[in-house]
Chain A
Amino acid sequence: MARAPEILPFGPNGLLIRFALQASPEANSAVRSFLDALHDVNIPGIVQKAGSLVSVYVEYVSTETTRDAVYSAVSELLATQDWLASEKPAPTRLWHIPVAFGGEMGPQLDETAELTGQSAEQAIKDLCEADVEVMTIGFSPGQPYVGLLPEHWNMPRQSEINPRVPAGALVAAVRQLVLFNEVSATGWRHIGQTAFRPFFNDRQTPILLKSGDAIKFHAVSASEMTTLLGNNPEGLGGARCEVLS
């Protein structure tokens, strides 16, 4: 296996720049810094760029450029610095999202807290005080992978699939949180409920979150969440976006 980062083929008109095979804060910072740099240099013929937890994907149009040309431009940019040592770019937006933790709205909170070696109250405090960001958007539209949580949240996915978590479910595994847009099956543990819909067709901006957005969770009661869920025409669920200078 070659040393990271690697430039790899991804479809006939794409390249994947992979910083690591396994998730790490360093790889995710590298992805985001490199994406920012790609936006700045503007390589001709590139029509799409996206970042995952560990990789950057670039797609080009073969009528405007060639694989070799894009490969050279990308490797030149890669060589300009040690991306795995780059500082995490500062977030420009902070989303405040209300969550009801535990009980029927987060039936696996207690077992999750136990796995992290603390009480449910401490776990909620952890989550609401965590300095977390959207690490990537993926799987389905607008769906955020949020992290990284402190090391004691490094629990594996459960071996049994949870057959059904509701839309807006907040689930946890491997130092990350995912906020489901639609009813889903998942191997992650269901710890809370939001009324926030990451993707909502009828909203002026259907997809709200972006990679790099900071997230702050605010604990609300089950009855407050029921009210938010009951009156939610825009799918915001009481969330608000603070623009950071």
Chain B
Amino acid sequence: MNVVTISAPGPSVTVQDLGRPGQMAFGLSQGGAMDRLALAEAAAVLRSPRILPALEMAGMGARFRVAQKTRFALTGAPMQATLDAQPLAWHGVHVIEPGQELRIAGASSGVYGYLTFAGGLKAPDILGSQSSHVTAGIGTVLKDGDQLSIADDPNPDEAMLGIQPNARFDGGTLRFMPGPQTDLFDKETLEALCATEFRRSVQANRQGIRLDHPNARFQSELAAGLASDFIMAGDIQLTGDGIPYVLMSECQTVGGYPRIGTVIAQDLPKLAQAPLRSELKLQLISIEEATKLAAKEETQMSALRAKATPRVRDPRDISDLLSYQLISGVTRGDELEDET
């Protein structure tokens, strides 16, 4: 069994997998990674048959050391990463050995970066998942000096793969389907919502992300006195002041504010990764279309595996780059002119 030691973590480095489905009756939302696609990409580049529990880093990473050699994948929001001061390419696999230090600093675009070790983390399993669900009192954010077990790399000689990530690090359009309370809103409100250009608010965390607009407000006259009812990740909740707030991984399981629809699971990574103030729009799609898209997602893993290919050697990965003879035959630069 291998061990990773974490130093100087950013404010929200947590263990995340796909969370705990099926616990609504107990008051526990599914939780899990904010960008589930990043976990799938990590599994693809590590050639892992299953999604592996990973370290999710919000905005800022940490420093890592390991007890044994292992491959690891860097996916999700690209962050400044170095191994013993040598820059590492994001969206791919690298190897770390005992004595080396992996440093992951700030995100250059997007929000949530993921560090996945080839064997997977072995944090305590609670209700079938290793995910921290801090809101629910499960697990915690990692602190300086924390150590986590990781399973041994099952195939250390595997090729170093990389992947071209699906674009999702600069906002865009979020598709949503009608939900149980869509009919509480009139058609004009729904149309106005879809025509509005929002920006990702500073009020955003693993529970939910607010969509800002200087003056657009969306309200329902039928909202007063509503019984608290089930909510799920993706629900677009309109709080008392009419500002949309999209519920994310660590949402509660019931809420009293009306919800105008549900952002489909495929577009939640785009919202999770939307940088502060980036532009976001909402687009209503039919239930049939949402169902079709959900079915398509089941084939996602094989598509990602096909996209994971040996990394083209990035000059930034070549540790002794300066010793290479990169330019041979330096000339004055005007010889050709002389010849013509």
Residues of A within 8 A of B (CB): 1, 8-14, 16, 18, 20-23, 27, 47-55, 57, 59, 62-63, 67, 136-143, 145, 181-182, 199, 201, 206-207, 211
* Contacting residue for A138 out of B183, B226, B252, B265, CB 8 A: B252
Determine the chain A residues whose CB is within 8 A of the CB of B287 once the complex forms. Answer: 9, 67
Q: How far is the CA of A116 from the CA of B25 in the complex (A)?
A: 31
Q: A9-B287, A21-B222, A67-B287 are in contact. Are A142 and B264 (CB under 8 A)?
A: no
Rounded to whole angstroms, the CA-CA distance of A13 and B179 in the bound complex is: 12
User: Which residues of the other chain, B, contact A12 by a CB distance below 8 angstroms?
Assistant: 177, 264-265, 290-291, 293-294
- Is B329 in the interface zone, CB < 8 Å from A? no
Q: Measured between alpha carbons, how far is A52 from B230 in the docked complex, in Å?
A: 7
Given contacts A9-B177, A18-B180, A139-B254, contact A54 B295 (CB under 8 A): no
Are A10 and B180 touching (Cβ within 8 A)? yes
User: Which of A48, A57, A140 has the largest count of B CB atoms less than 10 A from its CB?
Assistant: A140
A16 and B177 alpha carbons, distance in the complex (Å): 14
Q: Is the CB–CB distance between B230 and A140 below 8 Å?
A: no
Which 5 residue pairs spanning A and B have beta carbons closest together? A12-B294, A50-B25, A138-B254, A8-B180, A50-B24
Asked whether, in the complex, the Cβ of B25 is within 8 Å of the Cβ of A21, the reply is no
- B249 contacts chain A at the CB level, 8 A cutoff: no
Q: Which residue of A lies closest to B262 (CB)?
A: A11
The answer on a CB contact under 8 Å between A136 and B254 is yes
Grouping DSSP codes into helix (H, G, I), strand (E, B) and loop, the A interface class, with mixed when no group exceeds half, is loop
- Count the A-B residue pairs with Cβ separation under 8 angstroms: how many? 127
In this complex, what residue of A is CB-closest to B252?
Answer: A139
* A19 to B179 CA separation, bound complex (whole angstroms): 16
**Which residues of B approach A to under 8 Å, CB–CB?**
21-28, 126-127, 135-138, 177-180, 183, 222, 225-230, 232, 234, 252-254, 262, 264-265, 287, 290-291, 293-295, 298
A53 contacts B228, CB within 8 Å? yes
Interface centre among A54, A55, A141, A206 (most CB of B within 10 A): A141
| Nearest neighbor of B254 in chain A, beta-carbon distance | A138
The chain B residue with its CB closest to the CB of A8 is B180
Q: For the complex, give the distance between the alpha carbons of A27 and B229 in Å.
A: 12
User: Contact at A51–B25, with CB atoms within 8 Å?
Assistant: yes
Docked CA distance A53–B230 (Å): 9
Q: Given A52, A57, A182, which contacts B228 in the complex, CB threshold below 8 Å?
A: A52
Cβ contacts under 8 Å, A211 to chain B: 25
Q: Are B22 and A137 in contact (CB under 8 A)?
A: no
Asked if B294 contacts A62 (CB within 8 A), the reply is yes
Given A138-B27, A141-B27, A181-B137: A10 touches B295 (CB 8 Å cut-off): no
Q: Are A10 and B179 in contact (CB under 8 A)?
A: yes
Instruction: Decide: A13 near B227, CB < 8 A? Known: A8-B180, A137-B27.
Output: no
- Taking the closest CB of chain A, its distance from the CB of B120, in whole angstroms, is 22
- Residues in A neighbouring B293, C-beta threshold 8 A: 12
